[in-house]
Amino acid sequence: MASVWQAYRDRQSWKRTQTESRLLVKECRRIAKKKAYRIPEAVAATLEDACGAVERALDTNDQDATREALNHLDEHMDKNLAFARKSALREYSESIGTAVAIAILLRAFVVEAFQIPSGSMIPTLEVGDHIFVSKFSYGINIPFSDRKLVDFGIPKRGDVVVFKYPLDPTVDYIKRVVGLPGDRLEIKANQIYVNGEPVTREHRGECEFSEGTGARPCDEWIEYMSGNAHRTIFNAYGLGTLMEEKRVPDGHIFVMGDNRDNSNDSRVWGFVPVDLIKGRALVVWYSRNPNAGSLTSPSGAVLWFKAIRWDRFFTSVD
């Protein structure tokens, strides 16, 4: 068993030596070409001879010879190319800086992660869901501002959008778009009317939902908007939501939560300016019960792991 393990370690060591050798030869020739105006011809010839020695040693599959040639090349580079070689600290700094810059650009222009803090969008989104939001669905904003560089239009009815809360722009909300600019909206006994026409829906039956305070009875309906279907729920035995007809102003949208009787939305605080929309919800990438388990103990960690809702991973937000 020991001999097998040693053979495995030897193979891995040889692979590392091969990789290091090829990378160093590549780096040497790159610097020699880029900085040729600063390198005397004799030094350039010496460096090329050292690179050739490494390649010949690699061809022989002789690890000791390759390692010796590699060290020889490294010494020549330290002596003659130190002015152009990057230190380990610089390499790490540049790698980390590049990764951070890419992350900032992705967050600013492509996608952003959000966590669902309340049950206002149950059953579509549950407390503890983590979602990705497309930042370019409706346009490309100037980073850290509400001004658009490119405008792709406004949401469709039925889109689930993240936006800055109009009464406190430091807070992000997520709701479903129900009304567009110019729409006339009215609600009678939980039925939404858009421009005088009822939104098509069908009753699914009784249901239950929970926000961490125990199960509560509800009625489930399927609504159809812009050719897509989504689930909505209402408190069981409720009196039904009423809203007198309102016209959505230009440049605004009207939003509601899918948990219709338990949502703080446009029915309460009014319309959402289109400029405050941050993006459209795309997918749930991670989900777990936020009230279950803690990582402070082994038993808590087990409960924490069990609380992960695997069935919700990478489900689209419709």
Domain 2-80 CATH class label: mainly alpha
Contact 177, 317 (CB under 8 A): no
Residue 257 has pLDDT above 90, yes or no: yes
State pLDDT tens for residues 62-74: 888 999 998 998 8
Out of 135, 164, 175, 278, which one is annotated catalytic? Answer: 175
First CA to last CA distance, the chain:
55
Q: Does residue 175 have an active-site annotation?
A: yes
Residues of the chain with CATH 2.10.109.10: 111-316
State pLDDT tens for residues 195-242: 999 999 999 999 988 876 678 899 999 999 998 999 999 998 766 778
Out of 120, 263, 266, 287, which one is annotated catalytic? Answer: 120
Percent of the chain clearing pLDDT 90 (strictly above):
44
Task: Give one word for 127, left, alpha or beta, with left for phi > 0 and alpha for psi -120 to 50.
Answer: beta
Residue 310 has pLDDT above 90, yes or no: no
Closest by CA to 116, choosing from 301, 299, 288, is 288
Residue 41 has pLDDT above 70, yes or no: yes
Which two tokens mark 23?
């990378």
Residues of the chain with CATH 1.20.1270: 2-80
DSSP 117: -
State pLDDT tens for residues 142-166: 666 666 666 678 899 999 999 999 9
Residue 192: other Cβ atoms inside 10 A: 24
Residues sharing a CB contact under 8 Å with residue 127, sequence separation 6 or more, in sequence order: 116, 117, 118, 119, 211, 212, 290
Q: Does residue 120 have an active-site annotation?
A: yes
Percent of the chain clearing pLDDT 70 (strictly above):
82
Which two tokens mark 52?
């050739």
The fold of the 111-316 domain, in CATH, is Umud Fragment, subunit A (2.10.109)
State pLDDT tens for residues 272-295: 999 899 889 999 999 887 766 555
Q: Which residue has the higher pLDDT, 74 or 182?
A: 182
Residues shown for the chain? 318
Contact 68, 18 (CB under 8 A): no
What is the b/e burial string over 225-237, where b = at least 16 CB atoms within 10 angstroms of the residue's CB? beeeebebbbbee
Which stretch of DSSP H or E encloses residue 191? strand 191-194
C-alpha to C-alpha distance for 274 and 155, rounded to whole angstroms: 9
* Residue 281: predicted pLDDT: 94
Confidence of residue 100 (pLDDT cuts 50, 70, 90): low
Which stretch of DSSP H or E encloses residue 111? strand 111-115
What average pLDDT does this structure show over 106-118? 77
Q: At what angle do helices 63-80 and 41-59 cross, to 10 degrees?
A: 160
The alpha carbon of 94 is separated from its chain's Cα centroid by a whole number of angstroms, namely 23
Any idea which residue has 């460096």 for tokens?
Answer: 47
Closest by CA to 269, choosing from 120, 112, 136, is 120
What is the b/e burial string over 16-51, where b = at least 16 CB atoms within 10 angstroms of the residue's CB? ebeeebeebbebbeebbeeeeeebeeeeeeebeebb
* Residue 148: predicted pLDDT: 67
